[in-house]
Structure 1
Amino acid sequence: MNILILYYSMYGHIHRMAEAAAEGVREVAGATATLRRAPETLQPEVLEKMGALEPQKAFARVPVCTVEELPSYDGILFGTPTRFGNMCGQMRQFLDATGGLWAKGALIGKPGGVFTSSATQHGGQESTILTFQTFLLHQGMVVVGLPYSFAGQMRIDEITGGSPYGASTIAGGQGERLPSENELAAARFQGRHLAGIAAKLAR
């Protein structure tokens, strides 16, 4: 059983969450995790002006995903930064190219979930995940969130991401805050949870 973790990361926050989610997937017996990046749509000179080229070197080794490979996985966990309460343009453009899969029903019945990041504590994390889930529903996927059995989302002793909709992290206005251990634990939990559901569906 192979779970795809498909993400876009500009400064590395979502990449770290994706790695944690992969760790969670691998905790399920017989499950493997495959990391893939959504294709970049910005020119290198634009990314350089945004200060993103250097951070992206850390995960440049992760292969870029193709639409054609999506049906070969038993479940998909998507990661995207928040852009004004919605997914980033890179992920949106990639998903818009999956019409052929929709026409064939190629993703029907596969579990799918979403994790995200935002600059601020209330920067649209939940709306990003909720609006992303409409794609999962149109593709006939089984929506998997972050249940309250992950008690870390109920913490009030520290600032933290995470909600029943999915794992999340707060990056800071300048990207200065890296995912906390609690946020990484949420990503691991969601990865493990999705892989467990995929295993049950496979049986």
Structure 2
Amino acid sequence: MAKPKVFVIYYSTYGHVHTLSQSIVKGVLKPGTVDVELYQIAETLSQDTLEKMHAAPKANVPEITADKLVDADGILLGFPTRFGTAPAQVKALFDATGKLWASKALQGKSVGLFFSTGSQHGGQESTAYTFLPHLAHHGMIYVPLGYSSLYMFDNDTIVGGSAWGSGVIAGPDGSLQPTYKELEIAEIQGEKFAQIVTKLVAGTDREDVEQQQESAAAAPEEVAVVDSQSPAASAPAQLVKPATDSTSHDDTAAAADSSVANKEKGSAVRKLVAKFKKVFK
């Protein structure tokens, strides 16, 4: 059986989320139970605008398309915040998933999120919270990080990430780069996510097997029939399927009894209706 497949998909303007995605991928591969593919979300801004923003060059990573999402068993999605919500590039990708929504193609797929913000209070939690409607309408399963790393309790230094997902604090001018603590939290998120996806996919496979077994049990069983008057009665019995077009004597009697009972009920009902007519006349 093929391994479950996890897509790590990111959008990055200045490279911080791309760097974080590398640690996410490393963590996903750690258990050895899933395959992983890395994609980036297509840019919607013009090159002229990106140059004025001093955006980082795009990495040599294939771009994801909406139709490709159906191939993943789980998705880890990373992006920077825009005023506490997902950027337009990410929304554009999900705006193109109407066909997948109509066909319920993404239902039951696991999703985790990771982020980048300019400050400690720049919206890493609110970005996840405001993105949940996209997942809910598709019937996708949100998998939060929880407090899975001791670094998330570190108050001595600035550390990105929260129970909602791993994160990077880039600074107001983007000069801060992901720290080793932030990268380790991202790696833990990838590892935990891969373990959950493996369990969910394995559970689905077990359900398929159980359904097949139930269907087989519900099928008509073959029975042995031997004619006791036949000289060949001592020969091995032949397996034949039970007849479905014959009616036994017991079945005929039961049908006759049912017909009589129905007639008696009909007569009783007619008498009751006549009685009510007299009362309310």
C-alpha distance after superposition, 1:4-59 (max 9, x if no partner): 0111001100001111100000002231221111110001011011111xx224x1
Distance 2:198 2:33 in 1: 9
Distance 1:163 1:192 in 2: 16
1:75 maps to 74
Structure 1 runs not aligned, ≥5 long: none
Distance 1:174 1:148 in 2: 28
1:11 aligns with 2:10: no
Distance 1:193 1:134 in 2: 23
2:223 maps to none
Confirm or deny: 8 A CA contact 1:8 1:14 kept in the other structure: yes
- Letter matched to residue 45 of structure 2: L
Q: Which has the higher helix share?
A: 2
| TM-score for the superposition, normalised by structure 1 | 0.95
Q: Which has the higher strand share?
A: 1
2:152 maps to 153
Instruction: Please show how residues 23-102 of structure 1 align to structure 2 within 5 Å.
Output: 23-52=26-55, 55-57=56-58, 59=59, 61-102=60-101
Structure 1, 61-70 or 126-135: larger mean CA deviation: 126-135
Distance 1:28 1:124 in 2: 31
2:121 maps to 122
2:219 maps to none
2:177 maps to 178
Structure 1, 129-138 or 170-179: larger mean CA deviation: 129-138
1:169 aligns with 2:172: no
Distance 1:173 1:142 in 2: 33
Confirm or deny: 8 A CA contact 2:148 2:188 kept in the other structure: no
Structure 2 runs not aligned, ≥5 long: 203-281
1:2 aligns with 2:5: yes
Give the fraction of aligned pairs with identical amino acids, expressed as a percent. 43
Structure showing greater Rg = 2
Q: Which has the higher contact order (CA 8 A, sep 6+)?
A: 1
SS for the counterpart of 1:70 is helix
Distance 1:31 1:122 in 2: 34
**RMSD between superposed Cα atoms in Å:** 1.0
- Letter matched to residue 182 of structure 2: E
Confirm or deny: 8 A CA contact 2:33 2:194 kept in the other structure: no
Confirm or deny: 8 A CA contact 1:113 1:133 kept in the other structure: no
- Letter matched to residue 181 of structure 2: N
- Letter matched to residue 56 of structure 1: P
Confirm or deny: 8 A CA contact 2:116 2:170 kept in the other structure: yes
Confirm or deny: 8 A CA contact 2:144 2:163 kept in the other structure: yes
Aligned residues: 199
Query: What stretches of structure 1 move > 6 A for 4+ residues in a row?
Result: none
SS for the counterpart of 2:161 is coil
Confirm or deny: 8 A CA contact 1:114 1:132 kept in the other structure: no
Distance 1:152 1:68 in 2: 37
Distance 1:161 1:64 in 2: 26
SS for the counterpart of 2:113 is strand
